[in-house]
Amino acid sequence: MTPILTVEHLGKGFVLHGQGGLALSVMRDLSLELHRGECLVLAGPSGIGKSTLLKMLYGNYLAGDGRIRLHFGDGPLSLTELPAHAWHALRRDVIGYVSQFLRVVPRVSAREVVMEPLLARGADTAEARARAETLLARLNLPERLWSLPPGTFSGGEQQRVNIARGFIGEHPLLLLDEPTASLDAANRTVVVELIHEAKARGAAMLGIFHDEDVRERVADRLLPLESFMAPSLAPAAQPSTSRGLPHA
């Protein structure tokens, strides 16, 4: 079966302009494949490059070396050579991203924040609203909050709005950057269910989960990033735990 995503020999470093142009090398020679219906979980200690990898896949960071490709019925699409103007449609239709923090826009209600990815694709407003409300209810966000802008919400409430926004679009590829970090056990379980439903409809997911219980419940494979560390970071790293999950 053709994977939906392939990463080949990826490398990344940063130049710290505020530190006299110091070069920080983070990752080297990372390769992976991700298939439809699969959830691959990135493992490794803090600072190893987990978020950096997700940001390269989402086009927020440029890859240093290597190649990132998506595979569709009509052939591969190289993300490492994608022109800037093409990213908007790709994020709207193909790659979803659930970060840990909600980007709050003043005066935009929680319901509208969640509806927006569907409206951007031209969906019917009533249908988008119904699906947004279903997700907000599943994530136990009190109905009195749905019409309010999330700026004053608690961390966990904002995160649930963000999760609803991330899952509503049913993207074929979903990047999950600690989506359960501020959630209680009941809401973590809802997110686990959403991930299983996404897998069942064929979505591929690449995620970071610090909560080991969640990780065990969603991961089909673990990808420990220690082996892809750049030499300058290598000595500080500790091996990650896996409790028997297959490694990528």
State the nearest-atom distance from the C-beta of 69 to ligand ATP, in Å: 21
- Count the neighbouring beta carbons within 10 Å of the beta carbon of residue 71: 17
Give the residue with the Cβ less far from ligand ATP, 119 or 248.
248
Q: Classify residue 240 by burial, with Cβ atoms within 10 Å: 0-12, 13-18, 19+.
A: middle
Residues 159 and 179: beta-carbon distance below 8 Å: yes
Q: Residue 102 carries which side chain, given as an amino acid letter?
A: L
Give the residue with the Cβ less far from ligand ATP, 14 or 72.
14
Give the residue with the Cβ less far from ligand ATP, 18 or 142.
18
Q: How far apart are CA 30 and CA 228, in angstroms?
A: 6
State the nearest-atom distance from the C-beta of 21 to ligand ATP, in Å: 12
Give the residue with the Cβ less far from ligand ATP, 22 or 130.
22
State the nearest-atom distance from the C-beta of 121 to ligand ATP, in Å: 30
Q: How far apart are CA 56 and CA 248, in angstroms?
A: 19
Interacting residues of 108 by C-beta distance below 8 A, sequence separation 6+: 149
Give the residue with the Cβ less far from ligand ATP, 26 or 34.
26
Give the residue with the Cβ less far from ligand ATP, 3 or 13.
13
State the nearest-atom distance from the C-beta of 52 to ligand ATP, in Å: 3
Give the residue with the Cβ less far from ligand ATP, 16 or 86.
16
Binding site for ligand ATP (CB under 6 A): 14, 16, 24, 26, 46-52
